[in-house]
Amino acid sequence: MVLTAVSHDSRRDDAELPESRLGKIQFTYNENMSLVMGSKQITLYITQTCPWAARARIALREVNVPFTEHDIDLRNKPQWYLSDVNPAGLVPAIAYGGPNVPPDQPSSESIKLRESLLIVEWVADEFPKSNLLPESPLNRYRARLIIDVVATKLVTALNALVFRDGTSEDLIKSIELVQKELVPSAKYALSDQFTIADAASAPFISRVILFLKNDLGVSTEPGQSKGLYDLITQDAKFSRFWSYAQAILERPSVKDVINEVRVPIRYDSLWLIIKSRNC
């Protein structure tokens, strides 16, 4: 597979902010694929640092199929994207099937998919040999519960701490809630098998670690977030969460999507802007 993309580094929720100091990038991604998809092409629309888009990017890498990845500038959304791909103007989105056309000329014959979690589950259903979808109904329930706790509790607490007036205590409580749902002896959330629970949660689990490690936070004193990082990584109370986070960060699909240097730099620039507004 040859995957190409042009990035205008942006997030789904910062359209009003000035252009990132990272500017525009171009890259080509090459990987040998083991599964041939026939004529059903996949074009995935993303932004490089968007955690919601990262869900779909990780899932597609897990199923080992060829796809094209195209970056959308959410601060300057192309009209073709709004009219022909996703009227909501958000990422991720997928154009599935139809003829092979340039990403910025999506065919009306392709099926358009949107919403990150729905895309992750569609990938798992479409490519069952990947085992992304847990086999039993009970484990599928558990996977969706973990996804929900991460999205509603952990993400809320992390965003509040980093960007608003959240507290360390709330973040710790949310981590405890996530840890409570993780199977104690497993490598990943449910077992040693990487599933939808992991693909959907990885972008946010990784951000907890990267944000705290790099001491980011509007409502924290210098060194406070780093102190939380030391607590989570060293206190036996959080050993299950930390072992899970380590497994997530070492997963090839996650490492390929979550840039441990780029993400903190991108959010550090955003954090400095917000911090200055609050002075």
Determine which of 15-29, 56-70, 128-142, 168-182 has the lowest per-residue pLDDT on average: 15-29
CATH classification at residue 44: 3.40.30.10
* 258 or 198, greater pLDDT: 198
CATH number at residue 242: 1.20.1050.10
In 3D, which of 203, 215, 205 has the Cα closest to residue 240?
A: 205
- Banded model confidence at residue 132, pLDDT cuts 50, 70, 90: very high
Sequential DSSP letters for 69-116: EEE--TTS--HHHHHHT-TT--S-EEEESS----TTS--TTSEEEE-H
Give pLDDT tens digits for 155-182: 999 988 887 888 899 999 999 999 999 9
Kindly state whether residues 109 and 145 are assigned to the same domain: no
Residue 219 confidence class, pLDDT cut points 50, 70, 90: low
- Clarify whether residues 27 and 153 are in a common domain: no
CA distance 36 to 204: 31
Span 224-235, pLDDT tens digits: 777 899 999 999
Number of domains in the chain: 2
CA angle 126/130/133 to nearest 5° reads 70
Q: In this structure, are 46 and 173 located in the same domain?
A: no
Which residue segment(s) compose the domain that 162 sits in? Answer: 137-278
> pLDDT by residue (tens digit) across 39-69?
489 999 999 889 999 999 999 999 999 999 9
- Which residues are paired to 94 by β-bridges? 44, 113
Which is more confident, 93 or 11? 93
How would DSSP label each residue in 195-233?
-HHHHHHHHHHHHHHHHHHTT--TTS-TTHHHHHHHHHH
- 197 in the same domain as 113: no
Among the three residues 83, 103, 130, which one is the final residue of a domain in this structure?
130
Domain-terminating residue out of 98, 130, 162 = 130
User: Domain check: are 158 and 58 in the same one?
Assistant: no
